[in-house]
């Protein structure tokens, strides 16, 4: 179906998880696990790039038999499954204090990423909906003052809002004005707004990993579905966006493939492998 794509030119395949190879509310499809497992037999490495923390992503990485470091927290952290952190990006303390101030004032549900740990003030329906199944490395602090000893270690923030997308629209305008361009913010899906260190993305995280592996970005095939995947899709040898991807992700991709619900990445990859 894609004779112009030669799988032999790639040394690494990397995929976003949610909305790309994991459909909402569903387990990983057996076909997806079967196809991605074939890569090792062709001498091609495989890993995941996600906005999630290690504790949240680990079950899926285990199912997919990932053996190399993961790109976590949208590129802020490169970490192996054994917990070793190879690279991390940190939020300026002034920005962290400002985000605490803004989200308290706006009564927003905030989750703070610190290496492989997650922190929140109190459990709410918003936070439960995303992190309710995560049992390890997630902590309720009651007050942001309780994080003072680790405030210099913050990687990124996630604001979750399932009831009113307008509230996230409003927060974006607040961040534009009050963060003064000293941090990046973006929607990682319709219900999540994240604040990232300036200039950090899945693309920069992947570049760190590729350098460690002595792989060129042109030798990487990437799959993604949303705005936070867009830079990664543009930075690699071939970026493939699923049919359900955001317009920004599609615009940056070199190819549009089948949807997540239709196992688009696995179907596409299987076709490439069968052409060998």
Which residues, listed in sequence order, are joined to residue 87 by a DSSP beta bridge? 78
User: What's the CA gap between 73 and 137, in Å, rounded?
Assistant: 14
Note the pLDDT of residue 276: 67
pLDDT more than 70, % of the chain:
99
- List, for residues 142-175, the tens digit of each pLDDT value: 999 999 999 999 999 999 999 889 999 999 999 9
Indicate the average pLDDT of the chain.
95
The correct answer on CATH 3.30.1240.10 for the domain covering 93-197 is yes
Residues 6+ apart with CB under 8 A from 164: none
Note the pLDDT of residue 35: 97
User: What's the CA gap between 276 and 269, in Å, rounded?
Assistant: 11
User: What's the CA gap between 116 and 56, in Å, rounded?
Assistant: 9
Helix, strand, coil % over all residues of the chain, rounded to 5: 40, 25, 35
- List, for residues 83-133, the tens digit of each pLDDT value: 999 999 999 999 999 999 999 999 999 999 999 999 999 999 999 988 888
Domain chopping of the chain, boundaries:
7-88+201-274, 93-197
User: What's the CA gap between 264 and 253, in Å, rounded?
Assistant: 14
Please tell me if the domain spanning 7-88+201-274 has the same topology as the one spanning 93-197: no
Give the homologous superfamily in CATH for domain 7-88+201-274: HAD superfamily/HAD-like (3.40.50.1000)
């Amino acid at each position: 179906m894609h004779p112009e794509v030669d799988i032999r030119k790639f040394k690494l395949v990397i995929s976003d998880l949610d909305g790309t190879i994991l459909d909402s509310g569903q387990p990983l499809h057996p076909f997806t696990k079967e196809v991605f497992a074939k890569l090792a037999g062709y001498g091609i490495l495989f890993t995941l790039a996600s906005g999630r923390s290690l504790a949240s992503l680990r079950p899926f990485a285990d199912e997919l038999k990932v053996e190399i470091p993961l790109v976590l927290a949208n590129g802020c952290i490169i970490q192996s499954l054994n917990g070793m952190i190879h690279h991390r990006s940190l939020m300026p303390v002034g920005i962290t204090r400002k985000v605490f101030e803004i989200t308290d004032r706006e009564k927003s549900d905030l989750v703070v990423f610190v290496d492989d740990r997650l922190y929140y003030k109190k459990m709410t329906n918003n936070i439960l909906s995303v992190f309710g199944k995560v049992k390890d490395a997630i902590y309720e602090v009651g007050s942001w003052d309780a994080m003072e000893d680790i405030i210099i270690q913050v990687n990124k923030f996630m604001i979750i809002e399932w009831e009113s997308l307008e509230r996230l629209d409003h927060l974006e305008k607040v961040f534009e004005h009050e963060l003064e361009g000293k941090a990046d913010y973006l929607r990682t899906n319709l219900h999540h707004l994240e604040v990232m260190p300036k200039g950090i993305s899945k693309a920069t995280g992947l570049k760190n990993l590729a350098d460690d592996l002595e792989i060129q970005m042109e030798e990487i095939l990437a799959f993604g579905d949303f705005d936070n995947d867009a830079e990664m899709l543009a930075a690699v040898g071939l970026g493939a966006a699923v049919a359900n991807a955001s317009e920004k992700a599609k615009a940056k991709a070199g190819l549009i493939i089948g949807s997540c619900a239709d196992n688009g990445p696995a179907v596409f990859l299987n076709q490439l492998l069968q052409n060998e």
